[in-house]
Chain A
Amino acid sequence: MFEKIWEAHVVHEELGKPSLIYIDRHLVHEVTSPQAFEGLRLAGRKVRRPDLTFATMDHNVPTTRRFLPIEDPISAQQMGTLSRNCKEFGITLFDLNSPLQGIVHVIGPELGITQPGMTLVCGDSHTSTHGAFGTLAFGVGTSEVEHVLATQCLLQDRPKTFLIQVNGKRPYGVEAKDIILSIIGQIGTGGGAGSVIEYAGDTIRELSMEERMTVCNMSIEGGARAGMIAPDKKTFAYLKGRQYSPVDFERAVETWKELASDSGAHFDRTLNIDAASLAPQVTWGTNPGQVVPVDSRVPSPVDFSDPNARKSAERALEYMALKAGTPITDIPIERVFIGSCTNSRVEDLRRVAQFIKGKHVSPKVYAMVVPGSQQVKRTAEKEGLDHLFREAGFDWRESGCSMCLGMNPDILKPGERCASTSNRNFEGRQGKGGRTHLVSPLMAAAAAIEGHFVDVRQYKLN
């Protein structure tokens, strides 16, 4: 699949040089774009294809009342800069007041901007999310944002291919998030470096589109350039009738059907995962590869034979204030964050709302739900999910990246411990001194209710 898309996008190739590949869709947000637009202006260049470029504001938008002026003047300046740049260069922008605003990786698919067989880039590492549609999608830096704005192309070395097959029946309580966390646990945070991962197998086929996005989203956490899943009936059904979906949809589907990898396709590396053996996952350290099943214990540095891994573990345990040997289910939680481009779509919210019905957030916990987009928020509200969340003691917010990276006011205080459905547990990611445990939405919800981690497989549904 990767090869087919790559070949179809090569504009120019020369021996010993990276290929020049065409980019079909470019998504832009407020944090990694100002310097790129400034570069264009200084060089007197235009945006080559404003019609293929879409922008939104997500990283530092407040998730509280939208009608108030933004308190942080520097955030406000960054958002104002994006508005001015989009206006000057003729780019469609879903700004703070747009009913279509949301996290860039939520709205791309939601609006049908993301389509199978396309190349798509964004100045954000979680662009791998869009690979769930059989799209070759990857994150780029600001210089490359400028490059794509100016030329609609990118210079790229051909990556290696990595096939990860997941087969078997997923037990109750094991979510898409647990699949990808356990993959990262196995390959490590640098394990996918230089590669594009294709996820395949029965278990992947059975995932919904939103679950597939969760899996592809965290490909970068395994170091991969991109993650992809071959498009199928579910993909086509998802895209049908979306705002930017192709006009001649049936014809598009016919071409999309050709994308799947041929049987016997060669991959540089393969890995097989048995879904039936998976348990819900919890990260204990300060990178997403430092992860264990919920029914185990915090590991000890001496468990690691590699000296670097040992040193990392020592440091992580100190930062996380955890003692080796502590059962994961004994770790107390003070904050819960349900949101981010990994887990903030309406299915995530539905599953959690169903799960918490009739229960209440522990008095020791502050829990918030941040929908991925305004559309997700409206859908959830139409279904009354917001009431369920509020009744159960969750705070219900406006859409944005929020506490996944804490560029807006949603941050942890030093020492606070958080069960988070986001994608990075780096030191200080959610606030200086904050301690992040990455988990699935169900695991986060259960931790919110009990005030510590629980094994959702054994948790009684009402």
Chain B
Amino acid sequence: MKPFTKLRGIVTLLDLPDVDTDQIIPKQFLKRIERTGFGQFLFYDWRFVDRNQLNPNFEMNQSRYRGAEILVTRSNFGCGSSREHAPWALLDYGFKSIVAPSFADIFYNNCFKNGMLPVQLMEEQVEEIFRRVRRTPGFQLHVDLERKRISSDDGLDFSFEVDEFRRYCLLNGLDDIGLTLEHEGKIRQYETRRSEASER
């Protein structure tokens, strides 16, 4: 996994609460057996009018947001299905960090497993970012995972909370499986204990 330390990037907006993973990546695109190539189908039913034509009314499609790496959205983002295809699609499209007042549990967890940072801010702080992004074309945010701060050139500066262990893994690009396998001895002990208990 690629480490995530700092990011400075253009911000795009998705002004809806409760965005579910069916919207992030509709089911007809879940049949691939790779982790890549999902970006072209991100928010498919919203982004496209038909196969070849972008929906001009979908805010993210405006040219001012081209090249965005940070998505700012509303509460309960990523609810619904556990499909990891959702963070894969966001990542493949170019997003490296997502900012919202709250996230659904499985989605939140899935982001970290893929080197993408979900940042939870307060409702008012997210609202403030929305205002500034709409006011300033090309608006950028700096996301600093080391200092746990999110800021902008025009003076925004918010701190955010993130679980220490998750932060550590993301900063160092650590693979969970590798970490768990360091406890191989304990896993084996547990299994032995359990099988003895069931034979007793």
Binding site for B on A (CB under 8 A): 11-12, 16-18, 20, 22, 31-32, 34-35, 38, 43, 45, 59-60, 72, 74-75, 77-78, 81, 123-125, 139-144, 146-147, 150-153, 155, 157, 189-190, 193-194, 220, 223, 225, 287, 308-309, 311-312, 315, 405-407, 424, 426-429, 432
The answer, among B33, B84, B105, for a CB contact under 8 Å with A81, is: B33
Tell me if B180 counts as interface (CB < 8 A to partner A). yes
Within 8 Å CB of B176, what residues of A?
A: 143, 147, 155
Q: Are A139 and B23 in contact (CB under 8 A)?
A: no
Complex: chain A residue closest to B83, CB-CB? A32
**How many angstroms from the CA of A157 to the CA of B27 in the assembled complex?**
29
Q: A20-B183, A193-B104, A426-B20 are in contact. Are A125 and B81 (CB under 8 A)?
A: yes
Complex: chain A residue closest to B178, CB-CB? A43
The answer, among B18, B31, B84, B183, for a CB contact under 8 Å with A190, is: B18
Determine how close the nearest CB of chain B comes to the CB of A181; give it in whole angstroms. Answer: 16
Q: Are A155 and B74 in contact (CB under 8 A)?
A: no
Within 8 Å CB of B34, what residues of A?
A: 34-35, 38
Complex: chain B residue closest to A79, CB-CB? B31
- The residues in B between 70 and 93 inclusive whose CB is less than 8 angstroms from any CB of A are 74-76, 79-85, 87
**How many angstroms from the CA of A237 to the CA of B20 in the assembled complex?**
38
**How many angstroms from the CA of A146 to the CA of B33 in the assembled complex?**
14
Q: Are A426 and B23 in contact (CB under 8 A)?
A: yes
Contact with A along B177-194 (1 / 0, CB 8 A): 101110100110011001
**How many angstroms from the CA of A139 to the CA of B106 in the assembled complex?**
8
Complex: chain A residue closest to B190, CB-CB? A11
Determine how close the nearest CB of chain A comes to the CB of B25; give it in whole angstroms. Answer: 11
22 A-B pairs in the complex with CB atoms less than 8 angstroms apart: A11-B190, A12-B186, A20-B180, A20-B186, A32-B84, A35-B35, A38-B33, A75-B31, A77-B33, A141-B84, A141-B113, A143-B114, A147-B180, A153-B187, A287-B20, A308-B74, A309-B17, A312-B18, A315-B16, A406-B28, A424-B80, A428-B45
Complex: chain A residue closest to B35, CB-CB? A35
Complex: chain B residue closest to A191, CB-CB? B76
User: Which 5 residue pairs are nearest across A and B when measured between Cβ atoms?
Assistant: A143-B113, A34-B33, A141-B84, A141-B110, A190-B76
Q: Are B17 and A140 in contact (CB under 8 A)?
A: no
Q: Are B105 and A194 in contact (CB under 8 A)?
A: yes
Within 8 Å CB of A309, what residues of B?
A: 17
Determine how close the nearest CB of chain B comes to the CB of A45; give it in whole angstroms. Answer: 7
The answer, among B31, B74, B83, B190, for a CB contact under 8 Å with A74, is: B31
Tell me if B138 counts as interface (CB < 8 A to partner A). no
For the complex with contacts A190-B79, A429-B22, 12 further pairs of A-B residues with Cβ separation under 8 Å are A12-B183, A22-B194, A32-B84, A81-B33, A142-B110, A144-B109, A190-B18, A311-B16, A407-B27, A407-B28, A426-B20, A426-B80
Instruction: Count how many pairs of residues, one from A and one from B, have CB atoms less than 8 Å apart in the complex.
Output: 162
Within 8 Å CB of B74, what residues of A?
A: 308
Contact with A along B100-143 (1 / 0, CB 8 A): 00101110011001100000000000000000000000000000
Binding site for A on B (CB under 8 A): 15-18, 20, 22-23, 26-28, 30-35, 45, 74-76, 79-85, 87, 102, 104-106, 109-110, 113-114, 163-165, 176-177, 179-181, 183, 186-187, 190-191, 194
**How many angstroms from the CA of A422 to the CA of B192 in the assembled complex?**
41
**How many angstroms from the CA of A51 to the CA of B173 in the assembled complex?**
32
The answer, among B15, B164, B177, B194, for a CB contact under 8 Å with A43, is: B177
Within 8 Å CB of A427, what residues of B?
A: 22-23, 45
Q: Are A140 and B82 in contact (CB under 8 A)?
A: yes
Q: Are B33 and A142 in contact (CB under 8 A)?
A: no
**How many angstroms from the CA of A150 to the CA of B175 in the assembled complex?**
12
Q: Are A35 and B33 in contact (CB under 8 A)?
A: yes
**How many angstroms from the CA of A43 to the CA of B81 in the assembled complex?**
27
Complex: chain A residue closest to B34, CB-CB? A35
Q: Are B27 and A405 in contact (CB under 8 A)?
A: yes
Q: A11-B186, A18-B165, A223-B104 are in contact. Are A287 and B18 (CB under 8 A)?
A: yes
The answer, among B20, B26, B27, B82, for a CB contact under 8 Å with A124, is: B82
**How many angstroms from the CA of A395 to the CA of B23 in the assembled complex?**
29
Q: A190-B102, A223-B104, A287-B79 are in contact. Are A151 and B187 (CB under 8 A)?
A: yes
Within 8 Å CB of A312, what residues of B?
A: 16-18
**How many angstroms from the CA of A427 to the CA of B21 in the assembled complex?**
11
Q: Are B106 and A78 in contact (CB under 8 A)?
A: no
Within 8 Å CB of A20, what residues of B?
A: 180, 183, 186-187
Q: Max chain A CB contacts within 10 Å: which of B30, B34, B165, B194?
A: B30
**How many angstroms from the CA of A223 to the CA of B87 in the assembled complex?**
18
Q: A193-B105, A424-B22, A427-B45 are in contact. Are A139 and B33 (CB under 8 A)?
A: no
The answer, among B102, B163, B177, for a CB contact under 8 Å with A151, is: B177
Determine how close the nearest CB of chain A comes to the CB of B11; give it in whole angstroms. Answer: 19
Q: Max chain A CB contacts within 10 Å: which of B32, B190, B194?
A: B190
Within 8 Å CB of A124, what residues of B?
A: 81-82
Complex: chain A residue closest to B111, CB-CB? A141
Q: Are B109 and A432 in contact (CB under 8 A)?
A: no
The answer, among B102, B165, B191, for a CB contact under 8 Å with A193, is: B102
Q: Max chain B CB contacts within 10 Å: which of A152, A312, A426?
A: A426
Determine how close the nearest CB of chain B comes to the CB of A395; give it in whole angstroms. Answer: 21
Q: Are B113 and A190 in contact (CB under 8 A)?
A: no
Q: Are A78 and B102 in contact (CB under 8 A)?
A: no
